[in-house]
Structure 1
Amino acid sequence: MLKREESLTKIHLLATCDKCLKQKCARWKCVTCKQAFCENCKKGHVRKSIFKSHSFVNLFGSKDGTAEAVVDILCSCEVKGRISLYCTICNELICLDCITSNHNGHTFEKLETVNEQQRNKIQSITSEIEGIQIPAVNDLHERIQTWKAEHTITTKHLKDEVLRRNGEIKEQIDGWTKSLLMELDEFSKTEQRKVFDFQPRILKRNKRLIQERERLRLLAQSNDTHLLLQGVNASVRDWEPFDYPEMNDIQYLPGPDILSNFPSPLGSFMFTPRGTENGSISNSVSSGDQSLDKTVDHAFNFLVDEDESHGNSNGFSVDLSRITSLSIVSPDIIWIGDLRMKRLELVRITNDKSIHKLTQVNVNFLDFSIQKESECLWVSCVEDKSLSLFTRRGKRRAVNCFQSLLPTCVCITAADTVLLGLSEKRNLWVDKNSVRKIVEIEPPNTVLLEIERDQNGKLLFTFPLRCSVNTRTGGIIAIDSTGQTNGRLIMCDPRGHLKHIYTGETFHNFRKPFDPTGVTSVSTGNVVACDHSNETFHVLDSDGILLKVYRAVELDVEVPYSVACDGNGTFIVGNWPKTEEQGAKVFLLEESVFSASEICI
């Protein structure tokens, strides 16, 4: 059948115009004249008046496929006779002349018979195809309709569930908002009542202080004595609100009876006759003596004057907005850094209580630590996720990278190894693929110790913010930032085994969560952490037992944020001022303040 179709196609393409005798161009056949014409010859045939009534048939069929081409198909042999038979041996259409020549001895069939056989075969194949495909298509259509209906129902249920849960969440948020507003309103009213109650007490306090001052003056004038300060047990600045200090610890030296009955709410004083300090009695002073007035004023102002310079006497102003990290080079030279300004400064504290800048480095950092022997600074850089080494003059000497991990905190140990915090991202989001750990390395990249998980295999750190080493025991101390304004202290032994986790819950007198931002250790082995949110210093022993909590105001420190200690008596605090206009300060404290060995909360 295939050869027949090829033969028909070949004959069809070789159709010759009977008028101009051009091959492969005959397209039309005149039904009346029984001649084939090309397009041009057909137009010329129609123009003649005697042929206008002739009709033509398209040899290739009409455009709508309804008309049939009435044409004599010629054989491909040399005679070019009209085909009338089908050779079953060669599968070709032939003319009568081919019977005795090319197809001599072959078997033949009439064209009508072969045509009918092929038509029946095609119909049979079509029926089989329809019998197979139509049920499958119908089944698939039904399944699609079923899936569509189920999907519509599921979508509707999900939409209803989302709307219902949105309503529940909205109600819950509205309830929380209402509750918080009520609590805030109640807190505001309570604070207002405290202020109103406090105002008359302030006036009463001021009146008592004026009376006390006058009594001191009259006493000194009438008994020819002068006032010497022996010790202050309770200053006005440290009084609790609405209360006054106890007055049962006032001490006096032997003297006139009027002195023995003299009460004072200001503290313990010692009154001695004028001149007895040197073993001799000086001349008496009249009531109008100006030197006596100055003596009384000096003693009185030392006790009760709210002089702000006293609270900041050990603070040194710097040209940074805040001090997020610091490291001690020597007692008078320190590195300080401002995370917001992306700046490091090497400064000297001069004898005249001022700061002299020696070096400035502009770098986007998270933490840094000084190497005492070489006085080089190891800095955890954010931009290239590297641990970089800077000289004292601010030149970058070396860069260490850790497989795309971000160095978060850094501390140089006594053995000149580097204690380093690593995180894959700079955020607090932790999942199963997170990497949050502290490693000890020997430069450049030899890992000596790795702390990542607890005994249960869970991540120990949410974000390692700061790290340090106990100068006495060699234990590892780290600040784990668990939220924007809260964190905890993680203490490990020198081998990296977890010893204790301190969350600040031991000391409940806080309005805000425990928020450690700086940690160091002193020569006695005590650990000191500054709580930025509550403006306190927490002192713990090497086992994590809380020994003492200092409020920053007790140590004349404003809003502490970073701490550092060299183990030789120097203890430095960097602050984060409450307003940008104030500017950052460095505070010098005595290391012995944090050397308590017993619990004294």
Structure 2
Amino acid sequence: MNPCTSAQDVMRCDLCETPVVQMHCDTCLVNLCKACVGEHFSADVSTPHKIVHFKDRKSTPLYPGCKFHDKERCKLYCNQCGIPVCHKCIASDQHLGHKVSEILQVVEEKKNKFIKEQTELNETIYPTYQDIASDVQNRMSQLEKEYGDLSTAITKHGEDWHREIDKLVKKLKAEVDEMKNTQLQTLQKHLDEINKTMSDIKEEIHSIEIAIDTNDLSKLFSVTSNVYTYRNLPHKIISSLPKFIAGKIQGEQLSNLYGALSSSSLTSDKHGYSMKTTQKSPEAGSSPPVKQLLDEPETVNTIDTGYKYELNNLACLSDEEIWTTGYDSIMKLYSINQGSLLKSIRTKSGFIPSNIAVTKSGDLVYTDYSDRTVNIVKNEKIEEVIRLKKWRPNGVCSTSFGDLLVIMDSDNKKQTKVVHYSGSTEKQTIQFDDKGKPLYSPSSRNLRYITENKNLDICVSDEGTKAVVVVNQAGKLRFRYTGHTPAPKNKPFNPRGITTNSQSHILTADSNNDCVHIIDQDGQFLCYINCGLSVPWGLCTDTNDNLFVAQQRNKKMKKIKYLQ
């Protein structure tokens, strides 16, 4: 019987097929009954058969045959050539001076290696792939739900539009009926007057006929003709019909009014999965806990910064202290909980700082657009880190590796770029997309803020293009976010300060709509933060993901809790 198709078949002798097997040839890998052992020996007397009890099969190593010497078995291993060899191979010049090992030793090492790899495959790699498969399936299910919710939202929005259009149609038709009734009533009144006049004319004709036919002269002279009255014809009333001026339905405009989908994306992150381990390494960093957005963000406290003209920029030194700048040369450090001023530092040049940031070591960094410098404040002493030529620094941020990202404008106001610095050394320039087009608006009058996301994306809020421009660590454009409709005040998106949080959300101030936009790391809109903001400008977050907002006009800073 075929053992592949019959799981119940018993073990049989390979020579006589007797369903009893007591012996095994480890040399030829043949199962034998006791009666067939002699026949197996005599079938090939040149082969050194190793007959063992069936239970001891595979106990004798079957050495590989030599490729170069017939009937020789390779009991040695050439480490240099990486092949099994026989004693005749060793005696030849081919392996002269090569290091040779016992093949059983090499086999043992290989088996140990395979055992370790088998253990790794069984206990680590395969379970990891199981987790990955489960994760992909879960995300597919989540995508189905979220895309379903998205379609439902679009349908609901369409129903809202239909209701509003039905209201509008009903209103316009009511106006048509009112106009029609007014004009018909006027024309009816006019017709009644004409009919009365026609009746009067008939009476006049009858009176004249009597006067003409009578021979009574007194009657003739008693008739007075009023023909001259009827010669003055009545005014003609002309009705003017209203026209329905249909609004032009243009696809792009209608799409903008109705709402549009932002782009979706599928990216590949080579660091997205980590190998499943049975023991957690003490050095391994843990993923940040998932935090949900609050339905209603709340203002924790408000600090009046006392700037005379404007409050522009913020940078958290810690969860208790925050740096601020306004429309003067003073940079102020405030206590967040007390709201008190702790320290004031004037810029080295006396000019207004363009932007500020705090390094990983806790030092204040500021850009001086007028002086063309990037400066660092250490122990209240200002050190010039970078001095530019033909360029002027605008926004600045500190990276997760302690480097600086500076967005800058050319003197001729025709170019803008992001430069990555390690100390004062330029490491990378980001200026154009894959098609050679500028990523950022080329004008020094436009405000720009920059930050690095937790996934190492570089995010720039660009007033010139009215967009948040996000590139990856290599400088390749990932997406542009140009706002979301409907906006709180239905005004165009006007990005100002930008920051990120532990969830890799991107938060951008919108000074036109008095709100903060929150999008995810792929540019999908999540929600607005309003909280009674007045011209929000600079933004920053602390280690607990509290949001700090600089309100430009009232010079007050708000601390807002928006994550659970």
Q: Is TM (by shorter chain) over 0.5?
A: no
Smaller-chain TM-score bracket:
0.3 to 0.5
| TM-score where L is the length of structure 2 | 0.44
- Which is greater in Rg? 1
Larger RCO: 1 or 2 (CA < 8 Å, sep 6+)? 2
